[in-house]
Structure 1
Amino acid sequence: DIIAVQVQKGTHAPYYLTSKGIRPEGVFVRQGTSSVPASEDAIRRMIKESDGTRFEAMRSLNQSLTFHAFTEECKKRKLKLGKQQQITLGLQSKDGVYTNLGLLLSDQCQHTIKAAVFNGTQKDDFQDRREFTGSLLKQMNEAYEFINLNNRTTASFKGLQRIDQRDYPKEALREALMNALVHREYSFSGSTLINIFTDRIEFVSLGGLVQGLTLDDIMLGISQCRNEKLAAIFYRLDLIEAYGTGIPKIMESYPNTDLLQPKIISTDNAFKIILPNRNYAASKIPNVSPLEQNILNHITHAGSISRKETEEMYDISRSKANAVLHQMVEKHLLIPIGNGRKRRYTHT
């Protein structure tokens, strides 16, 4: 008289009403004797359990996506973007469900870039601010244009020759922006930040280093990509080169500037690249004589120098060595450490 039907838990949760989509109004869970709409957090948890932990491969909560900006970028590079290409690239699953990677590249992308220009070296006085929305590719183009507008040119003269120099090397700006977009952790909802100060520009993205890597590894060009499919698409669009080349390129774009180097700061949940403004720094650094530059170069490699070492290395008198080192301290190029015969000098 009784037929018992057992339904095993499915492996592709959440199951949803196709007319409503993967949203609370389309996904229901049992609560006691009732069926109630699932919360967005519960839906994300189901997706994570079904699809794994890689964000870009999970199913997007929004399935009503368009790709106008992405299509335009593909057209520029003569790449086709049909349904089969979307599946191959990872924008859709084989059953036609859009992934989070598809969401990031769609016109409906919920993540943004916030850029601000400050008058000075602190966040006290806003001069301009923008927020870039839409597809990551649209944000990328608009953010770079905004940065480029604030990358001013300063002219100097060497004899009769005019030398123009931008505040920041274009290569460094480009690579820092690409790094912030490709390697950030998109499971966090916060915005990517670009802060432009008088003396520097900062790129701040969510998500620290991928587990197992250190800053020393990054400086050597070792890379473990957090968003492999997103990086592969940027590679196909000729926006990035092979993995691990970005940070070395940034450092190489500041040659022969021992006192002026980009800085990288990483925490558990954030990654910051700081590019110094070359023209601002040049206006603040005092004139350096050839002897003083040699001393600075030596300290860069050795860490410090003594008065006696200065005498012997550069074949000058004791009084001359004392005078040069004292003058470099007054110029704020060096700071003394210790007293008497043990006194040494190092970079400020």
Structure 2
Amino acid sequence: MVDRPNKPSAIAPAASAPQPTVDIADDNSSITATLPSGENVTVLLHGATVTSWKSGPGAEKKENLWVSEKAVLDGSKPVRGGIPLVFPIFGAPPANHATSKLPQHGFARNLRWEYLGKSTSESTTSGDAGTGPTDNSVKLDFGLYSANLTDEQQDQWPYDFGLVYSVTLSRDTLQTMLNVRNEGQLGFDFQMLLHTYFRIGDIGSTAITGLSGVTYTDKVLNATEHAQAENAVRIAGETDRVYKRIPQSTTSIVEGDKPRFDVVRDNLPDTVVWNPFKEKAAAMADFAPDGDYVHMVCVEAGYVSDWVRLEPGDTWEGGQRLRSLL
């Protein structure tokens, strides 16, 4: 065998790219996922409520969601802020309906969900495969089942179901999707809503676009029906509107003349726009500071103007993709 004087050096194994991390709170109350680039999301197991979503350029990430300083996070009541999940009824239940015994907004936001685990993905965004910068994402799954209901709740809504709620964080987006399975022998009707509280600079310079021509129910004006004439919805007083069967999939929040958020609905036809404004905010015990109504607006994707009918063995999925436009 010939001895080569200049042997090639061994090829060092490629360093593995940083991966998203997932941390469980010491008291087992919440899950936080963080990308290598610093974006993060926190989900409270009570209600599977997203309580924080931070993103943006630079090392200091900006909070995208508003949560009241007096929000109750111990599981004794729903969270005022973040993204509470409404199921299987939106608002007060109608009389003589299968949901009529349930409390307002149902039970999903009031119960502790099970953390089912995480999955991660990585995609090359530029350059040759394996050489360009990559985008990471991490998906957190949470479960709630009919067996988790109390005896009283099972009496109020006696159906066998399984819910899987997936929260997926990527660099500038947060996706929240709900999968509903009918695991029983009876069909059932339900509604769902993602009650998202966005943090904004000033409600006076904020507009919601993408709703022009859409019919809405104005709950402040005795649930009367109206058509949205202007492209931009501006808030100058208490606002509680249900925009129904919206043809386009994207609704946007604009601050001044700059887009701030896009809300892209997936299999959800409706959007609720809500701000309590001065007097109602002051009257709400868990809304603080009182004047913070100027720093929040709810743009809530949902299926609430009608019912989803789910027969035995069937599944349904719907949700939203939020994009921060910093």
- The normalised TM-score by structure 2 is 0.22
- The normalised TM-score by structure 1 is 0.21
Structure exhibiting the larger radius of gyration computed from Cα positions: 1
Highest relative contact order (Cα 8 Å, sep 6+), 1 or 2? 2
